[in-house]
């Protein structure tokens, strides 16, 4: 075998484990989580850098988003155009970001969940904030660059962001086995906190919170658990309770209306439509009768959702109901997870600021090292030119006597005069003493004659003095911690002055929302469901008046209370629960709603076999029978559960539930198969089991046969069943034992 093509035998699970860990780390580090230094995910960083490279500045014309997305994908981010465009859109949405990073032109979506227009229609450019705070000094070697995916381009590994972007713009991302969720904060407060930390590295989280009051969401709203924020910022984890802002407006005639002017940040998008639906449901289910009308009057000016109230409505109670029953009060889960030093880490407020300040010192150090090197190079050249002006006649003589540039250069640098003709020997001796550096020699050779004019020489002297001052200043910045620290603080102050805005989210301690729910008047109703799955409830008296028609038109009819629940048993062995109040209550001829709409039941995947009320189950015994003949008795109390869907029984492979029967006074059961076998035996032979049990075999089935019908009977009652259009008298069947083969009916 060729030595280059060896087969390496290894454990399959080891290969899978290593591959999955590699994949997980790639997602965590290179896609889903932001870097603590610049607060950006790779897709955001690459998109902003690409716009910077394309020259799409804030003071230049907009460019098509398709151009930006295509360029980013081709050069830096080979993960599909939708992920890049989605990131670009979010960076341009002022209702999602504390400070927008992209200036969008066109339809970039709305707070109500409308999507952005296609990238071929929209345009964008960098915002001034991004250009001056996120991308400044990139050309000064302040950050490391690495190869892109195909090693044809270089991209920054981090952007030189001058503020803690992780806090200002927050972050959301789902990786493998972990997720990050960081709220947005006020720019001015965050800058003040950075300054406070730089002045006192031992400051506590509590001390930092004198500057950062709490999250500042772009949608405003109210944070109502102020006392819990310290613990959240200490640990980097917790839950922030958010409420929308509600105002009461007086109308003519003593009426009032509730106006929601700010929403919780978590309600952005489809949450507003969900809120409107929830309010409508509260009215339809008569949880409240105070709301007369609801309208969404939101516009570009801001959120305005109006609830018109009836005269004499209890406004405070209704407001508390909205907090409790809708997403007007919601929870923002905080998990401040970011990539720090190449690994994911949950960080508290102080830790984030520590990483940021360390990064700022690194940026500033690299910036001024680059500037210092540039000025020192400039000084070297300027000193050479000034020195050259003093001996310009000698230099001209050297140039005129040289046969090549190389000869002249060697003479200027090392005093080599071998190949140069001088007019006077004194000039040769002077030339042998020359010792310009290579850079100085090149500058002298490239110098134009007009530089010898008196004013130009004076200007050169002034430039040299400026260069010396710059070098002294840069050295002081690099060698003195306090000077560099003050420089960073001054830059932060300038950013704050230019871009800061007022806080939008109010932070307070609010009382728990408590409302008195009006008790529903208990009454008897009748549940009706037709063969198409449309369900409703009607008054008992209405049912009695239309009893004959109701029995003919409906597949399931259940007498129950309006405060009860209905239990739907299906052939897949599940039990779905529905509150009677969730079903429409009306007239006999009303259509009702599909049962799929108000429960977890799916008509395409399962079939309802029995409907009973939860109250009826409370004191009952149920007999379960499957098509493969498995049977058991179950106490009805096992089905008194809060969940909307549970497994009502355990089924064997390829089996299905045939019957769920509530026992009354019956004493025996008759099983009938598709091939016409009947088996009659006592109910006492069916043991009581838990709902999670398979049960026992009620009847031995012939090959390719299955149970078709189950009859429950008492002695002395005549009952018949049809088989091949002939009646079989069940009460006349011979009593047998459970698990028998049964008797074949005559044809």
| d(C-alpha 719, C-alpha 135), whole Å | 88
Contact 156, 144 (CB under 8 A): yes
Closest to 710 measured CA to CA, from 746, 744, 666, 648: 666
Task: Say how far residue 739 (Cα) sits from the centre of its chain.
Answer: 56
- The count of residues in the chain is 747
Neighbours of 560 (CB within 10 A): 21
| d(C-alpha 319, C-alpha 328), whole Å | 9
3-class DSSP state for residue 576?
strand
**Distances in Å between the alpha carbon of 50 and those of 163, 463, 563, 721?**
21, 36, 61, 79
Closest to 565 measured CA to CA, from 550, 549, 583, 578: 578
Neighbours of 385 (CB within 10 A): 20
| d(C-alpha 192, C-alpha 200), whole Å | 12
| d(C-alpha 163, C-alpha 169), whole Å | 10
Contact 621, 633 (CB under 8 A): yes
Residue 121 is a catalytic residue: yes
Of 121, 661, 668, 711, catalytic: 121
Task: Say how far residue 157 (Cα) sits from the centre of its chain.
Answer: 24
Contact 313, 254 (CB under 8 A): no
The tokens of 236 are what?
A: 């980097």
Buried b (16+ CB within 10 A) or exposed e, 183-204: bbbbbbbbbbbbbbbbeeeebe
First to last CA, the chain: 75
Closest to 35 measured CA to CA, from 46, 22, 24: 46
| d(C-alpha 671, C-alpha 660), whole Å | 14
3-state helix, strand, coil in the chain (%, to 5): 40, 25, 35
3-class DSSP state for residue 334?
strand
3-class DSSP state for residue 314?
coil
Beta bridge partners of 335: 181, 237
| d(C-alpha 615, C-alpha 638), whole Å | 12
| d(C-alpha 502, C-alpha 98), whole Å | 11
User: Active-site positions?
Assistant: 121
């Amino acid at each position: 075998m060729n030595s280059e093509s060896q087969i390496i035998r290894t454990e399959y699970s080891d290969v899978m484990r290593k591959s999955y860990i590699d994949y997980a780390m790639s997602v965590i580090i290179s896609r889903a989580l932001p870097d603590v230094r610049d607060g950006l995910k790779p897709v955001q960083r690459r998109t902003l850098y690409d716009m910077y490279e394309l020259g799409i500045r804030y003071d230049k014309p907009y460019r098509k988003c398709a151009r930006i997305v295509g360029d980013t994908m081709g050069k830096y981010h080979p993960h599909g155009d939708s992920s890049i465009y989605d990131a670009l859109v979010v960076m341009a949405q002022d209702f999602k970001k504390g400070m927008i990073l992209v200036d969008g032109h066109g339809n970039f979506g709305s707070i109500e969940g409308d999507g952005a227009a296609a990238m071929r229609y929209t345009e964008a450019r960098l915002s001034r904030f991004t250009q001056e705070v996120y991308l400044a000094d990139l050309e000064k070697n302040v950050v490391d660059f690495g190869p892109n995916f195909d090693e044809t381009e270089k991209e920054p590994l981090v952007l030189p962001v001058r503020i803690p972007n992780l806090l200002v713009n927050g972050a959301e991302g789902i990786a493998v086995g972990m997720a990050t969720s960081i709220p947005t904060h006020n720019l001015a407060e965050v800058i003040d906190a950075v300054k406070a930390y730089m002045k006192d590295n031992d400051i506590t989280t509590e001390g930092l919170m004198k500057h950062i009051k709490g999250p500042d969401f772009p949608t405003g709203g109210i944070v109502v658990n102020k006392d819990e924020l310290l613990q959240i910022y200490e640990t980097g984890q917790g839950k922030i309770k958010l409420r929308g802002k509600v105002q009461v407006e007086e109308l003519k005639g003593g009426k009032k209306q509730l106006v929601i002017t700010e929403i919780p940040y978590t309600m952005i998008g489809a949450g507003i439509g969900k809120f409107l639906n929830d309010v409508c449901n509260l009215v339809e289910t008569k949880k409240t009768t105070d709301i007369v009308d609801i309208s969404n009057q939101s516009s570009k000016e801001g959120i305005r959702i109006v609830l018109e109230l009836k005269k004499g409505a209890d406004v405070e109670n209704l407001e508390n109901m909205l907090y409790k029953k809708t997403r007007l009060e919601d929870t923002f889960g905080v998990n401040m997870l970011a990539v720090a030093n190449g690994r994911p880490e949950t960080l508290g407020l102080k830790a984030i600021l520590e990483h940021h300040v360390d990064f700022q010192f690194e940026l500033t150090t690299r910036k001024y090292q680059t500037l210092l090197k540039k000025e020192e190079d400039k000084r070297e050249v300027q000193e050479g030119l000034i020195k050259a002006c003093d001996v310009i006649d000698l230099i001209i003589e050297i140039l005129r006597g040289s046969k090549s540039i190389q000869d002249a250069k060697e003479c200027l640098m090392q005093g080599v005069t071998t190949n140069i003709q001088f007019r006077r020997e004194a000039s040769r001796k002077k030339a042998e003493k020359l010792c310009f550096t290579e850079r100085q020699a090149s500058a002298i050779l490239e110098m134009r004659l007009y530089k010898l004019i008196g004013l130009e020489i004076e200007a050169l002297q002034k430039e040299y003095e400026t260069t010396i001052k710059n070098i002294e200043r840069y050295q002081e910045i690099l060698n003195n911690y306090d000077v560099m620290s003050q420089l960073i603080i001054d830059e932060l102050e300038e950013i704050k002055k230019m871009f800061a805005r007022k806080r939008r989210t109010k932070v307070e301690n609010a009382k728990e929302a408590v409302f008195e729910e009006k008790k529903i008047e208990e009454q008897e109703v009748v549940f009706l469901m037709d063969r198409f799955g449309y369900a409703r409830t009607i008054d008992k008296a209405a049912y009695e008046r239309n009893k004959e028609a109701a029995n003919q038109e409906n597949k399931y009819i259940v007498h129950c209370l309006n405060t009860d629940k209905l239990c739907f048993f299906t052939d897949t062995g599940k039990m779905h629960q529905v509150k009677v109040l969730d079903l429409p209550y009306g007239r006999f001829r009303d259509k009702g709603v599909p049962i799929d709409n108000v429960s977890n039941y799916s008509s395409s995947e399962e079939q309802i076999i029995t409907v009973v009320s939860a109250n009826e189950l409370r004191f009952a015994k149920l007999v379960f029978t499957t098509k493969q003949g498995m049977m058991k008795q179950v106490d009805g109390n096992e089905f008194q559960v809060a969940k909307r869907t549970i497994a009502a029984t355990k089924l064997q492979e390829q089996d299905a539930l045939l019957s769920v029967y509530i026992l009354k006074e019956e004493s025996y059961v008759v099983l009938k198969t598709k091939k016409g076998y009947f088996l009659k035996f006592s109910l006492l032979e069916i043991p009581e089991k838990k709902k999670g049990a398979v049960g026992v075999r009620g009847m031995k089935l012939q090959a390719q046969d299955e149970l078709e019908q189950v009859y429950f009977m008492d002695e002395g009652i005549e009952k018949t069943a049809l088989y091949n259009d002939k009646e079989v008298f069940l009460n006349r069947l011979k009593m047998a034992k459970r698990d028998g083969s049964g008797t074949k009916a005559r044809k």
